[in-house]
Structure 1
Amino acid sequence: MAACGRCGRPLKTPESVRDGYGPICKRKQEEAEAEFLRIQVTIDEELEYQKKVKR
């Protein structure tokens, strides 16, 4: 039996097995991934910042 990739509980539906997460953990994982992507700094942003602070 497949287990949830987030909490380790058994997955019961074919959709959950396909996704690797139960429905609640899937939502939490998607929220966590969206937050991770939101706070990432791109190399272009870093280079622009370095130009601004360079003296």
Structure 2
Amino acid sequence: MIVVRLLFVLTLLALAVSGGLYLFTGNRRYVQFVWNVLKFGVVLVLIFGALVVAERFMLL
């Protein structure tokens, strides 16, 4: 579970920094980066969640 928390914190940090840079510079590249980070983070959380569920079923 520490991996999921670390991923969550790093994702929020990347989103905050990129959002701030977009507001500061107005460069659309940062918005694209935010979108890519969100997609990657969701995919990783889903994969990790599926592995945790699979592990729980294996233990039964």
Structure 1 length normalisation: TM-score?
0.49
Which has the bigger relative contact order, CA under 8 A and spacing at least 6?
2
Larger radius of gyration: 1
Greater share of residues in helix: 2
